[in-house]
Structure 1
Amino acid sequence: MSEQPGSDLTALDIVDELEGLVTGARRVPLSANVIVNEDETIELIDRLRLGLPEELTQARHTLEDRARIVAAAEQEADQILTRAEQEAQRVQSESEQRAAALVTDHAITQQAHARGAELIAQAEEQAASIRAEADAYARDVMTQLEDQLMRAVATVRKGIETLPAPAAARRRRKEPRRD
């Protein structure tokens, strides 16, 4: 065995060691069977059992981080939209006050309203762009996380498939079925 019992091996490292045990084992002549060290194999399986909950916890933390990132991005987009609307209202209010002071000049009032509408449209456009970027970022993070989790699950399944069946299951397979 290449690692000491207290070392920090991932489940994939342990599966690799199990594979190494099987591929490096002595073959039984005239069969596809190999002879592996039972103690080493059981120790690796126990370490795999202990290591999986930690890796699943790390995956859960990654999902929680993703949720926090999405929530923060949405909150920031909402804050920007709110500030933009407030700024647009402030500009529009100032424009209306100036226009009221210059009641005789109708063109200035129309320009102020148009500028206020422009600012609101720009703010809404900026908020929509930020939301779209936040959604794209969240989608990328979730896609990467999904890929990592799928690879981890596939590796664990391969590791499980390479393990010999428990003794009781082997005996059942050898006994003929009685129907």
Structure 2
Amino acid sequence: MTTRADAGDDLLRILDELDELVSTARTLPMSSSAIVSRQDVLELIDRARQAVPTAVHRAEEIVADADAVLAQGREESRRIVAHAQEEAERLVAGENIVRMANDRADAIISTAEERAERLRHGADDYSDRSLAALQAEIDKLAEQVRAGRDALAARLGTGADDAAPDAERERQEAARHFAGWSVDPAATRNWTKGGR
């Protein structure tokens, strides 16, 4: 199973392996179609399914880190205000010190919120790019597999019309399956429990 720290790198390695598998596959005579091992392709797709939710979990950890930064900023601001109020009472100049402390606390919270938002945005962008790259490779692979099956069907004499319904049905089933992918944390929990 992919560790959280290298989930994105592992997903890119899987895509490279898919590319290598297709690029080095034996081509059909007089055709741009290639013959690829179904078992190898399914194994890589299975590994990719495991890596994607792990990568999304990594993005969720980044968001959690952003929340921690925000909480730390709020805690620091509360501490500053409390300290300022104590100093104000001791020096009998409370109003001015508390106002300055509140201004400082507001600035800390604002900075923490901006940093947390940047981290969340980066995590979402990372997840979206990973999923988009995987979807593009799967679509490309599905097109090549379909073309190969059509070519084989023509050689076996079954005709493109006989093979087309099966190929179209498989394409639609694959599209429905991958359409269920989401960066929603609730959806990713289903993947990690084996709901492929």
> TM range, normalised to the smaller chain?
0.5 to 0.7
1:1-179 maps to which residues of 2 (within 5 A)?
Answer: 10-92=10-92, 115-164=93-142, 171=166, 173=168
CA distance, structure 1, for counterparts of residue 28 and residue 106 of structure 2: 67
Structure 1: unaligned runs, 5 residues or longer: 1-7, 93-114, 175-179
* Contact map agreement 1:10 1:55 (CA 8 A) in 2: no
Question: 4+ runs of 1 displaced by more than 4 Å?
Answer: 165-170
> Shift of the alpha carbon at 1:31?
3.4
8 A contact 2:66–2:116 mirrored in 1: yes
Aligned in 2, Cα 1:27/1:173: closer, same or farther, shift over 3 Å?
same
Letter in 2 for 1:157: Q
| Larger-Rg structure | 1
**How many residue pairs align between the two structures?**
145
Q: 1:31 to 1:44 in 2, by over 3 A?
A: same
Note closer, same or farther for the CA distance 1:87–1:160 as it changes in structure 2 (3 Å cut).
farther
| CA contact 1:70–1:138 (8 Å) conserved in 2 | yes
Secondary structure at the counterpart of residue 142 of structure 2? coil
What do residues 91-115 of structure 1 show as CA deviations (whole Å, max 9, x unaligned)? 22xxxxxxxxxxxxxxxxxxxxxx5
Percent of pairs with identical residues: 29
What CA distance in whole angstroms lies between the structure 1 residues aligned with 2:63 and 2:28?
Answer: 46
TM-score normalised according to structure 1 size: 0.66
Distance in 1 of aligned mates of 2:122 and 2:51: 22
Which has a greater percent of helix?
2
Q: TM-score, normalised by structure 2?
A: 0.61
Show structure 2 runs of 5+ residues with no match. Answer: 1-6, 147-162, 170-196
